Amino acid sequence: MRFAEKVATVTPAAPARRVRSLSDRTIAWLFIAPTIVLLLAINVFPLIWTVRLSFTNYRANRMNVPLRDVGLQHYNDILTSPDVWAAMQVTARFVIATILIQTVLGFALAWLVDKKFRGHGLWTTVILLPMMLSPAVVGNFWTFLYQPQIGLFNYVVSFFTGIPPSSFQMLGDLTLSPWAIVLVDTWMWTPYVMLICLAGLRSIPDYIYEAAEVDRASKWRQFWTITLPMAAPFIMLAVLFRAIENFKMFDMVNLLTGGGPGSTTEVASITLKREAFEKWRTGYSSAFAIILFVTVFGLANIYVKALNRLKQR
Amino acid sequence: MSDNVTAHSVVEPSSLTKRIAGILVVLYAIITMVPLGWIVLTGFKSPPDSISYPPKIVFDPTLEGYCNLFTTRSRQTAEYLASLPPPSGTCESIARARNLVVVSESKFVPRFWNSVVIAFGSTALAVFLGTLSAYGFSRFRVPLKDDLLFFILSTRMMPPIAVAIPIYLMYRELGLQDTKLGMILLYTAVNVSLAVWLLKGFIDEIPREYEEAAMIDGYSRLQAFRKVVLPQAVTGIAATAIFCLIFAWNEYAFAVLLTSGEAQTAPPFIPIIIGEGGQDWPAVAAGTTLFLVPIVIFTVLLRKHLLRGITFGAVRK
């Protein structure tokens, strides 16, 4: 195992100080190895297995069928399948819509909270609550709020607009259902963007604004030349993380619409679930999984670089 | 230092700005609380009240939702009901009023208990492994440290459905399908990445000098870790544990694909609570309320560490 060799060369950071019992090198090895072993067993090994299966016709519900190599057939099928591209477009639209709305709203909220009005600490905690809750359990409850005849959401909309509450179905309508999901996601995750933006705003030292005041820069100018650029790395971090999370969105969509009506809200994860656990095309869905892995891995790479840059500040 | 402080520093917003900002934020907070408030209210409604139009804000509170959550009931004829002894207990009385009798306890308690066992089991394991690794990464020069740390984090970013395919096959081979042990191991693997990153941040903040002083006094490295570093890291470990608990508690995708009975947790169970003639919304709301209460408490406890937790320890206040 290559990892064992790597760890074997561990050297203590401090000048070697041989105190009785275990050496630092052994301790480092003992401390880190269990985590790596667990991740190899639960993440890496299955991943390698997935890669292997992605080149075969394997079906998890028919284990007696002899395994046949199909080469790159699945990858070819996926990348040329109109259904997959449709799902990718739905996912992309969902990611872009949620990120745009949540970033604007989250930044605005952070900017307001940063005015430090009385009681801002308490209200911030209240605002943060939705993001800590289970997207599945709460998302499920939104199906009740969205009921056309009896749901609170339709009632409130009709109360303010006069549209009869049973005249529109948030979850059953081709044009409305994607927005129904965007709304719940926004409700849930705007606090996340807000919290990170708030950290960004608070990282800007007061003296910069003081200097700007001395130079008689307008508030408007200060916002565009100080606030926004200095908070930008934080905003980027929030955007990246939301992009990764929403790219793999499953819980809420599965419970709110299940991908429907038709396939208007069928995001990539839902397509993958259907292929893997309903049609049992294990080989094909393994190839699809690998494609999603690679995409997320690329995004994660950028994310970690952004994290490290922030850490160095 | 404070000789130039005036009543209003130039960067201090005016009181009018503060007031407007406060009003807008409170307004937003109230709007976001409406769905949660509605969940709690619906839990105390009778089924007819829960689906009345217009939606009822004032209603006679009843425990019917909670009773329906915890029991299964069957419909009986009036003659049979008349032949029964008077109802014992609140739930039995509520059921009788609707020509029902309580048959047995529902599956909610075992499912809830599964959530508890799996969340706490995986959290304990993840925090244990995470603390050791974080200390290792924080204090020793590990080759390829950054790559290893990236690898550890990237495992958490993977789409759960994609991970679930091979895990499903592997667990089927190993007999771990639909077992609590299988779910504990899986959630540990997902959480350990968060634990390592968060705890590394916390341990990095503990000055090395403390251990070095202890080691000069004759402690071994392990003793110094146990008696000097761990006590200093207690807050960080607690915050990390709560984050792991919340993740495991809320997790749905793996749970719905890999468990069906024995090890099913509450999130896949609550949405499928069905009453007579469709979804029993008061019961669903009651289950949701009970499920959310621990998280609300944890969030309040965690509020100072939330930012750290959601950014894997990179951003601190």
- The per-residue pLDDT for B9 is 59
Cβ within 8 Å, pair A137-B19 = no
If 0-12 CB within 10 Å is exposed, 13-18 middle and 19+ buried, where does residue B232 land? middle
Minimal Cβ distance to A292: which of B133, B162, B315: B162
Per residue in B16-31, pLDDT tens? 889 999 999 999 999 9
Question: Is there a contact between A273 and B257 if contact means CB atoms under 8 Å apart?
Answer: yes
pLDDT averaged over every residue in chain B: 88
Structure tokens at A61: 């519900």
pLDDT for res A130: 92
The pTM of this model reads 0.88
Please judge whether B154 and A297 are an interchain contact, meaning their C-beta atoms are less than 8 angstroms apart: yes
Asked if the Cβ–Cβ distance from B140 to A28 is below 8 Å, we say: yes
Given a cut of 50, whether residue B315 has pLDDT beyond it is yes
**pLDDT category of residue A1 using cuts at 50, 70 and 90:** very low
Range from A89-93, A120-124, B53-57 carrying the lowest mean pLDDT: B53-57
Confidence band for A302, pLDDT divided at 50, 70 and 90: confident
Q: What pLDDT score was predicted for residue B75?
A: 84
CA distances from A103 to A196, A244, B28, B70 (A): 10, 15, 15, 41
CB B126 within 8 A of CB B191: yes
Residue B134's SS3 state is helix
The answer to whether residue A21 scores a pLDDT higher than 70 is no
Most confidently modeled range among A66-75, A96-105, A168-177 = A96-105
Identify whether the C-beta of residue B200 lies closer than 8 Å to the C-beta of residue B138. Answer: yes
Cβ pair B143:A9 closer than 8 A: yes
pLDDT at residue B272 greater than cutoff 90: no
User: Residue A197 pLDDT more than 60?
Assistant: yes
What is the pLDDT, as a whole number, of residue A7? Answer: 46
Q: Where are the alpha helices (DSSP H) in chain B?
A: 15-43, 47-50, 64-70, 78-83, 90-97, 108-139, 145-157, 160-174, 180-204, 208-216, 221-224, 230-232, 234-250, 253-258, 266-269, 281-302, 306-310
B158 touches chain A (CB under 8 A): yes
Q: What is the pLDDT of residues B177-216, one digit of tens each?
A: 999 999 999 999 999 999 999 999 999 999 999 989 999 9
Q: Sort out which chain A residues have CB atoms less than 8 A from B26's CB and list them.
A: 123
Is residue A225 a contact partner of residue A237, using CB atoms and an 8 Å limit? Answer: no
The three-state secondary structure class of B9 is coil
* Interacting residues of B256 by C-beta distance below 8 A, sequence separation 6+: A136, A254, B267, B268
Residues of B with Cβ-Cβ distance to A60 under 8 angstroms: 168-169, 172
Residue A242, pLDDT score: 92
Counting every residue written for chain A, the total comes to 313
- Contact yes or no for B161 and A118 at CB 8 A: no
Would you state the pLDDT for residue B10? 63
Q: Tell me what the mean pLDDT of segment B249-268 comes to.
A: 91
Asked whether the beta carbons of B158 and A293 are under 8 A apart, the reply is yes
**Measuring CA to CA, which residue among A178, A198, A197 is closest to residue A96?**
A178
> CB contact, 8 Å: B154 with chain A?
yes
ipTM, 2 dp: 0.87
Instruction: Indicate yes or no: CB of B314 within 8 angstroms of CB of A272.
Output: no
Q: What is the DSSP string of B50-97?
A: HT-SSPPSS----SHHHHHHHEEEEE--HHHHHHSPPP-SHHHHHHHH
Residue B230 has pLDDT above 60, yes or no: yes
Contact across the interface for B51 and A150, Cβ inside 8 Å: yes
Pull the structure tokens for residue B170.
């592997």
* Confidence at residue B5, expressed as pLDDT on a 0 to 100 scale: 44
SS (H, E, C) chain A: CHHHHHHHCCEECCCCCCCCCCCHHHHHHHHHHHHHHHHHHHHHHHHHHHHHHCCECCCCCCCCCCCCECCCHHHHHHHHCHHHHHHHHHHHHHHHHHHHHHHHHHHHHHHHHCCCCCCHHHHHHHHHHHHHCCHHHHHHHHHHHCCCCCCHHHHHHHHHHCCCCCCCCCCCCCCHHHHHHHHHHHHHHHHHHHHHHHHHHHCCCHHHHHHHHHCCCCHHHHHHHHHHHHHHHHHHHHHHHHHHHHHCCCHHHHHHCCCCCCCCCCCHHHHHHHHHHCCCCHHHHHHHHHHHHHHHHHHHHHHHHHHHHHHHC
- A32·B300 Cβ contact <8 A: no
Tokens of A35: 């985590």
The verdict on a CB contact (< 8 Å) between B29 and A247 is: no
What was the pLDDT predicted at B241? 94
Q: What is the pLDDT of residues B149-161, one digit of tens each?
A: 888 888 888 888 8
Of residues B153, B188, B315, nearest to A196 (C-beta): B315
pLDDT of residue A20: 52
The values of phi and psi at residue B274, to 5°, are -115, 140
Can you give the pLDDT at residue A313? Answer: 64
Asked if B237 has any chain A CB less than 8 Å from its own CB, the reply is: no
Instruction: Tell me the pLDDT of chain A averaged across its residues.
Output: 87
B22 touches chain A (CB under 8 A): yes
Selected residues 110-129 of chain B with any CB under 8 Å from a CB in chain A: 129
CA angle B119, B123, B126 (to 5 degrees): 140
pLDDT tens digits for range A205-243: 989 999 998 998 888 999 999 999 999 889 988 998 899
Q: Identify the band that residue A61 occupies on the pLDDT scale cut at 50, 70 and 90.
A: confident
Q: Which of B140, B185, B259 to mutate to test the interface with A (most CBs of A within 10 A)?
A: B140
* pLDDT tens per residue, range B84-134: 888 888 888 888 888 888 888 889 999 999 999 999 999 999 999 999 999
Number of Cα atoms under 13 Å in the Cβ half of residue A301: 7
Please name the member of B222, B246, B300 whose beta carbon is closest to the beta carbon of A125.
Answer: B300
Nearest-Cα distance to chain B for A113, in Å, is 7
CA A154/CA B306 separation, integer angstroms:
33
Q: Phi and psi of B74, rounded to 5°?
A: -130, 150
User: Does residue A12 have a cis peptide bond before it, meaning omega lies within 30 degrees of 0?
Assistant: no
pLDDT tens sequence across A177-192: 999 999 999 999 999 9
What residues in A contact B246, CB-CB < 8 Å?
132
Is pLDDT above 80 for A46? yes
Nearest-CA distance from A72 to chain B in Å?
18
CB pairs under 8 A between A and B: 335
Question: What share of chain B in percent tops pLDDT 70?
Answer: 96
Chain B partners of A255 at a C-beta cutoff of 8 Å? 271
Query: CATH 1.10.3720.10 spans which residues of chain A?
Result: 73-312
| B residues 163-192 lying closer than 8 A (beta carbon) to A | 163-170, 172, 185-186, 188-189, 192
Contact state of B220 with A20 under an 8 Å Cβ cutoff: yes
List CB contacts (< 8 A) between B249 and chain A. Answer: 134
CATH of A73-312, one of 3.30.420.40, 3.90.1150.10, 1.10.3720.10, 3.40.50.150: 1.10.3720.10
Half-sphere exposure of B110 (CA within 13 A, CB side): 10
Which residues does chain B have within 8 Å of residue A113's beta carbon, measured at their own beta carbons?
21, 25
pLDDT in tens, A228-283: 999 988 998 899 889 989 999 999 999 999 888 888 899 999 999 998 999 899 99
**End-to-end distance of chain B based on CA atoms, in angstroms?**
23
Structure confidence by residue, pLDDT tens digits, A97-110: 999 999 999 999 99
- Cβ–Cβ gap B288/A7 under 8 Å: no
* Eight-state DSSP code of residue B14: P
How close is the nearest chain A Cα to the Cα of B281, in Å?
8
Facing residue for B11 by CB, picked from A12, A209, A244? A209
Reading the block at residue B261, the tokens are 């009975």
- Note whether B257 contacts A11, CB cutoff 8 Å: no
Q: Across the interface, do B143 and A187 touch by the CB < 8 Å criterion?
A: no
Q: How far is B311 from chain A (nearest CA, A)?
A: 8
The total number of residues shown for chain B amounts to: 317
Cα B12 to its chain centre, rounded Å, is: 38
Interface test with A, best of B157, B217, B228 (most A CBs within 10 A): B157
| Average confidence (pLDDT) over A109-121 | 90
How many angstroms separate the Cα of B17 from the Cα of each of A210, A226, B68? 18, 19, 50
Nearest chain B residue to A289 by CA distance is B162
